[in-house]
Structure 1
């Protein structure tokens, strides 16, 4: 160490002396070479802080020979005024090195190891911890045993767990050398959101040696190698001259919270045989895609002018805007999509409504389809457009429109500061919770129900239900909510007399602590304004964000994926048929589990029942329904349809013949941050252990 410090003093003094020389253009080095190449690789700056090829054109490089057969080299005038020093000695008792031999090294050398140590800016490595190797390529000695020329490749480590500093050194040597500098090093992606967009970064490899560099295979190495992937590479399999460069693009894969590191390794023809670039990022959880249930609140009623400049129906071909954010419990910012209950009343013609993001063109899709004079509702999930608005388009005639908001999906962490963590969606095996037949609910009556999911129950914050009014005595509505007075001034299902009217509903729950189990179970209530039978099927739950295998939501502009009238996606269905619709790549990703859709039945020849479930997943047809269209009716319902391993789902038609249309408005994907495995296998469903209901 004394020799290293002495050499550093000489280098610093040399730097001061050369600083006063006039600046001139420096030519490329020519033989004989006095060069020190340094690649800090995955050593993270211990003890050398910066990589470089130091050859006299960009620094002052010196060497010195010792009568013991060793040499020392140093570089000064590096960026920031840094210095590097290296000290090399043959094994104890061996007066000289032999060209062509590779020596294991330790800090001070011994009988079986050469001595190799390094320092930078007077920060060195305790000789006890230093080890590595030295491959001597050329050595010339004079009559006194002192070297007059020396060339070698080296690998230096400063502790048993440290990465390697590697490179080449030349002192008065005519041997060409490979020199490559990578930047940035490390490639640090910073904080990366789990499930968010993964930006890539490139490691740039600048060739600076006098020998052409031949790059081989690139790979990610290390215990956490699976947390990174190479997505671009114009280095491998090519030869580059001095002054040229190439790049390898890398992307992080943030699947779990925590810090992740690995190395990008790029094979080359240097003495070490590869370039090593550290990679790192910190993964963190966000609320992007989480669902926040709300107590139902009305945003628009064209009959009264709520949400509109003045009362009045939506006319034919008219598109009206609806401000959503900042109203009804929806935050002013950080919202990506909302879940709405849209009601049509008093239409003058058969038509449809389409809800879509404000600022976009009207899509070829529908949100709710209806005949003239119809009264009904549909659950609509819609992506928000500019300013937090959505557009509502009516095709034919005129109709009044009522819109209630029941929840939203987050688009950023903006909402977390005020509302905390949202919830994940969990599909469940469809289960019938309520069927009042043959004893209907009376007008003004309520029914309260609880669902037991076992110990997971306290974590359930909302239920996704298919609620159907069957043969109402008069036109009216159902309202589903968490329970407790008063009944909300909003509706969930709007029905006409004698009809069968279903609607998908996201229903907020409240915990019931005295409903039987030792733990709280989710509780909800449904109110009817008129006498009717009621059927309620459970299709999913919203948790508090903590249960494993939860799904998050990514909204899409409405996209049609099937229309059997034109054999697009599938042909029409006869009685008992099971059709299969495969989602196109434009609406699915590798981790998509469920599609949020609007499915429309068109003019069945008989009253029928349509059921949707995943294809190619070994599942039998569920004993529940998604749509219950009457003969000749055009009716829609929101469907959260699971897809199988081939991105497909089945549709079964009970009787008669029917056409159908399927429009996708978003996808639920498995959130790896709470997945039971980072392999992103299919989500594990919750299981219903019991249900209870009581009329009030």
Structure 2
């Protein structure tokens, strides 16, 4: 393209400037100064028409030697100029037709450049110039000129046609259109759209004669001439006529054509470009083209995402039934839909909600389809979800680690906790516990050196202290209890002491995941609980006939068969020290001794005592174990010679076994207190069983098992208590071994059975019973057995159908 810089032209002579007269509809008298321009079809130099004369423009010209001259036409809207020069060595001769082309290497060509409004172009093909009058002054320089022209632009030969008059008495015909083109914008497919009108004004000194308007170009069928007054009309200067065009697009998308109006000007017709964007009259606007759900646990239904569909055309849209198709349609569901079967008026909207519920791991995609009677049928939205083995509710065993010891200042100041005193303990982001994504921690909490009888309550940091207890303390006693406690929003827990002063110790043995955040820390393959028929795993009194010697340990392999054993990561056990020769402690761990025993304890005992404690103990494959080689194993160490009893109540796997349960922590909640008739009406008599119903509030998420703190209060004789699911035979195990008058707690995990209840058996004497719930276990939808449905507790078999093969303890 060739740029034109009019500011570089300096007018030094033969300048004529004509002001616009008051009556612009009157033809300026001869001699004429005028420029009539008609843009050719598809030309880039000019779209439409232009007409300059002394009524609408300032006109100036100058000539110099060799018959070269130029004329400029300037008004507030346009600036154009004409530069002309005859072939080399010649002069302009009226009545002569010249071949014009911008080619300095060919002296046979005349120069005729007509350019303006900042646009110019090369002339790669010839054009023509018909000279009608040449006027010369006394110096024989051109002082007046008349010509008609058809000029090329780039390779288009007829890009610009028209008439040039400079101080000429030769008449001319011409007309101007009030638009350079008609753009109709979006118009309904196959229907008459909004009409527009072109007004033509005669601008020549001679009458302008029009023929019948027609349509040409690429898509003339997309338009129609639907009215006007120009057909076969003759106009004189200043008179007008009109042509009305109505769009009617034949297909979607942009369509173009030209309004062609024949006339008696040089180009033979006026060309007005036409464009229209064909759109469906039934238009759907979707709020999004994709619903992306991010990471989602398999077997769980995620949060819904909403697609809003708006009828934005001129006609109502009628919908069929929304559906999901594509590669993984079963990974998504429509959870709400007020679009299907509906006719949606223009401007109205409806919505479809989709939820992810993937059943296999990986990136899953599908399409939401919404059939309708528009051209865009069906409307589709892509769906995507990253399906993962979820972490929520899974258990992650840790090597027992001391995180609190007020004797040494670990986790809290080195001082006893006073009366009505509270310790706030950070448990996340330290000691191999993730900073986020932790729902609850499993601790072994020990009291030592209490100055008075008291109790200790462990609870989340961000809730009021509940009316429950985690340990009951007797003056001078050293004892422990397994405590599962929800973590506050700040990653902390609180430990409260009612009375006197006492040291507190806490060892962390594992945590339950709150959500998938822990995956970002590399914690995967979290465990599910598989409750088993409570069963005695080991009793040194009957299995060995001897005590476990002081400063020795035993390793205890278990087996539930080759399909189960490789997946076991921890055991839920009740460990009892009985008849110890003196004071001391037991430590339960995974039995691996290469790095030494963990600096933690599971229970503390005194000489001759029976002391149980529930523990979730990580396992490791047994090494150098003979026939038990490779089996999942725990170890139990004793400081002092004592008998050891181990009862198993559940296993924690790697998250893959069918029928597993996930954990949901709760603020400790009292579910039974026989002292006030809550949950069970009276103290449990000798040989009696209390059947305790699970409160309805704890069944809301399909609870199958409970994490409990069970306390025997003031038994009238030394006894033992057994906790087990209602509806099955009482197992030969014990959970508590209280002495006469003692108040002693122990954690327990029990499946709930018939009538959503569990049993507590008292061997002898009578005892009051207090039971607090600290969490619930529910079906893992990702590992439900084939054909199973997540039902309320007590409907399915209340314990896992796993058979334990006892392998005997290995002493060391």
Q: Same fold (TM over 0.5)?
A: yes
Tell me: CA distance 1:495–1:181, structure 2 relative to 1, closer, same or farther (3 Å): same
Contact 1:302/1:400 (8 A) holds in 2: yes
Tell me: CA distance 1:359–1:272, structure 2 relative to 1, closer, same or farther (3 Å): closer
Aligned positions of 1:368-387 closer than 5 A: 368-387=471-490
Contact 1:670/1:680 (8 A) holds in 2: no
Match of 1:200 in 2: 304
Alignment match of 1:348 (pick from 451, 464, 483)? 451
SS of the counterpart of 2:565?
helix
Contact 1:291/1:407 (8 A) holds in 2: yes
Q: Distance in 1 between matches of 2:401 and 2:294?
A: 40
Is 1:613 the equivalent of 2:724? yes
Post-superposition offset of 1:537: 0.4
Is 1:539 the equivalent of 2:655? no
SS of the counterpart of 1:349?
coil
Contact 2:725/2:751 (8 A) holds in 1: yes
Q: Distance in 1 between matches of 2:355 and 2:511?
A: 30
Is 1:582 the equivalent of 2:685? no
Match of 1:468 in 2: 576
Q: Which runs of 5+ in 2 are unaligned?
A: 1-40, 49-178, 195-218, 225-247, 256-277, 791-795
Tell me: CA distance 1:390–1:417, structure 2 relative to 1, closer, same or farther (3 Å): closer
Tell me: CA distance 1:561–1:479, structure 2 relative to 1, closer, same or farther (3 Å): same
Tell me: CA distance 1:191–1:299, structure 2 relative to 1, closer, same or farther (3 Å): closer
Post-superposition offset of 1:478: 1.1
Alignment match of 1:76 (pick from 230, 250, 253)? 253
Is 1:397 the equivalent of 2:500? yes
SS of the counterpart of 1:572?
coil
Alignment match of 1:480 (pick from 588, 605, 610)? 588
Tell me: CA distance 1:30–1:72, structure 2 relative to 1, closer, same or farther (3 Å): closer
SS of the counterpart of 2:808?
strand
Q: Distance in 2 between matches of 1:251 and 1:201?
A: 7
Q: Distance in 2 between matches of 1:276 and 1:183?
A: 12
SS of the counterpart of 1:342?
strand
Is 1:694 the equivalent of 2:810? yes
SS of the counterpart of 1:204?
strand
Pick the structure with greater CA Rg.
Answer: 2
Aligned positions of 1:131-150 closer than 5 A: none
Aligned positions of 1:598-637 closer than 5 A: 598-615=709-726, 618-637=727-746
Is 1:188 the equivalent of 2:292? yes
Contact 1:572/1:657 (8 A) holds in 2: no
Post-superposition offset of 1:343: 0.6
Contact 2:722/2:733 (8 A) holds in 1: yes
SS of the counterpart of 1:580?
strand
Alignment match of 1:447 (pick from 554, 568, 576)? 554
Q: Distance in 2 between matches of 1:535 and 1:601?
A: 20
Post-superposition offset of 1:498: 3.5
Q: Distance in 1 between matches of 2:465 and 2:251?
A: 69
Instruction: State the number of aligned residues.
Output: 555
Alignment match of 1:303 (pick from 363, 386, 407)? 407
Q: Distance in 2 between matches of 1:643 and 1:312?
A: 41
Contact 1:452/1:521 (8 A) holds in 2: yes
Post-superposition offset of 1:318: 1.1
Q: Distance in 1 between matches of 2:674 and 2:376?
A: 63
Is 1:593 the equivalent of 2:704? yes
Larger displacement relative to structure 2 (219-228 or 190-199): 219-228
Q: Distance in 1 between matches of 2:785 and 2:360?
A: 11
Post-superposition offset of 1:64: 9.3
Match of 1:110 in 2: none
Aligned positions of 1:97-112 closer than 5 A: none
Q: Which runs of 5+ in 1 are unaligned?
A: 1-9, 36-59, 66-70, 78-82, 84-167, 171-176
Post-superposition offset of 1:467: 0.3
Match of 2:768 in 1: 659
Q: Distance in 1 between matches of 2:732 and 2:362?
A: 43
Larger displacement relative to structure 2 (212-221 or 601-610): 212-221
Tell me: CA distance 1:262–1:500, structure 2 relative to 1, closer, same or farther (3 Å): same
Contact 1:200/1:252 (8 A) holds in 2: yes
Contact 2:621/2:629 (8 A) holds in 1: no
**1:351-410 deviation line (CA, Å, top 9, x unaligned):** 221212223322232222233333211111222224432211112222211111122234
Alignment match of 1:511 (pick from 621, 624, 644)? 621
Q: Distance in 1 between matches of 2:193 and 2:712?
A: 81
Contact 1:453/1:521 (8 A) holds in 2: no
Alignment match of 1:424 (pick from 516, 528, 533)? 528
Tell me: CA distance 1:327–1:185, structure 2 relative to 1, closer, same or farther (3 Å): closer
Aligned positions of 1:497-576 closer than 5 A: 497-517=607-627, 520-575=630-685, 576=688
Post-superposition offset of 1:340: 0.9
Q: Pairwise CA RMSD of aligned residues?
A: 4.2
Q: Distance in 1 between matches of 2:598 and 2:500?
A: 30
| TM-score calculated relative to the size of structure 2 | 0.60
Tell me: CA distance 1:318–1:206, structure 2 relative to 1, closer, same or farther (3 Å): same
Contact 2:310/2:350 (8 A) holds in 1: yes
Q: Which has the higher contact order (CA 8 A, sep 6+)?
A: 1
SS of the counterpart of 1:458?
helix
